[in-house]
Amino acid sequence: MKISLEGKVALITGASRGIGLAAAHRLVSAGASVMLTSRKQSNLDEARATFRDDHDRVATTTGHVGRSEDAERVVASTIQTFGRLDILVNNAATNPYFGPLVDIDDVRMQKTYEINQASVLYHVRSAWHQWMKEHGGVIVNVASIGGLGPEPGIGWYNVTKAAVIHTTKQLAYELAPSVRVNAIAPGLVRTELARGLWETRESEIVRHIPMKRLGEPDDIASIILTLASDASSWMTGQTLVVDGGTINQPTGGVG
Where along the chain do its domains lie?
9-243
Task: State the virtual CA torsion across 195, 197, 199, 201 in degrees, nearest 10.
Answer: -170
Q: Is 173 a catalytic residue?
A: no
Whole-number pLDDT of residue 208: 82
Q: Among residues of the chain, what percentage have pLDDT more than 90?
A: 83
Please give the share of the chain, as a percent, with pLDDT higher than 70: 94
> Per the residue annotation, which of 97, 122, 157, 173 is the catalytic one?
157
pLDDT at 253: 40
- Give the Å distances, CA to CA, from 242 to 96, 223, 246: 24, 8, 9
Q: Which CATH class is domain 9-243?
A: alpha beta
CA dihedral 106, 108, 111, 114 (to 10 degrees): -60
**Would the pLDDT of 114 be above 90?**
yes
